[in-house]
Amino acid sequence: MIVLSGMIGAGKSSLATILAEHLGTQAFYEQVEDNPVLPLFYANPKKYAFLLQIYFLNKRFASIKQALADDNNVLDRSIYEDSLFFHMNADMGRATKQEVQVYDELLNNMMEELPYAAHKKAPDLLIHLVVSYDTMMEHIKKRGRDYEQPENDSSLVEYYHNLLERYEQWYEDYDYSPKMKIDCDQLDFVEHPADQKRVLELIDQKLKERALLSQSETNR
């Protein structure tokens, strides 16, 4: 099982689709387009940060249980990133100490139960998509979600920069599985076929190193 991580607009959903097709497997996507809480959060972060994170945590727990039940599945974002978002919001004054305590206890309980809910204890590989602020903003503007645009909410500039900085330490601390980085400024796997081919080669190589991929699987 492969999990993806990275900034908003880094290209996780696109890579999940590409990888699922490449490996002949299923992609699991973060619920965004039909998420009833997300627009509320962007409109009033302080009021809805806790509700949004509980909503995401529940969905991510269900997705990773389902993904771990079979081989070769891909998640475009996983439960392992969840705490990063909520604790950042808490540090920005968008959650109370009581909400943080409830969230942390719930997340810890879920992580303790995860090995018993599926036949695998953890992912086989984390692929972290590294992206600059400028490239991220290009992607965000291109997909056109109003609530993600800084021109509609100037506080998003600070939010995005803060998240970029925290992701560096999050990746260094992640130790649930082997991991690798993809530089999305250098390799545009959505727009350029040659870059997509290179990204798949890098991922295949990492999987082969762990004896998780046969030659026949890379020729699909």
Those residues whose C-beta lies under 8 Å from the C-beta of residue 15, and which sit 6 or more positions away, are: 4, 76, 127, 129, 182, 189, 199
Alpha-carbon gap, residue 103 to 144, rounded angstroms: 31
Chain mean pLDDT for the chain: 90
User: Is 9 labelled as part of a ligand binding site?
Assistant: yes
Q: What pLDDT is stored for residue 150 in this prediction?
A: 86
pLDDT higher than threshold 50 for residue 216: no
Could you read off the pLDDT of 10-37 as tens digits, one per residue?
999 999 999 999 999 889 998 777 889 9
Confirm whether residue 204 is marked as ligand binding.
no
Task: Consult the annotation and say whether 42 binds a ligand.
Answer: yes
pTM (2 d.p.): 0.89
Whether the pLDDT of residue 108 is over 90: the answer is: yes
Least confident of 80-84, 148-152, 168-172, 194-198: 148-152
pLDDT at 58: 94
Inform me whether the pLDDT recorded for 83 exceeds 70.
yes
Using 50, 70 and 90 to split pLDDT, how confident is the model at 220? very low
Does residue 81 surpass a pLDDT of 60? yes
The region of weakest confidence among 49-58, 113-122, 139-148 is 113-122
Q: Is residue 14 annotated as involved in ligand binding? A: yes
Sequence spans of domains, the chain: 2-218
Residues that are catalytic: 76
Give the whole-angstrom CA distance, residue 214 versus residue 199.
17
Average pLDDT on 66-90 reads 89
**Residues 23 and 74: beta-carbon distance below 8 Å:** yes
Pick the CATH number of 2-218 from 1.10.10.10, 3.30.420.40, 3.40.50.300, 3.20.20.80: 3.40.50.300
| pLDDT at residue 40 greater than cutoff 60 | yes
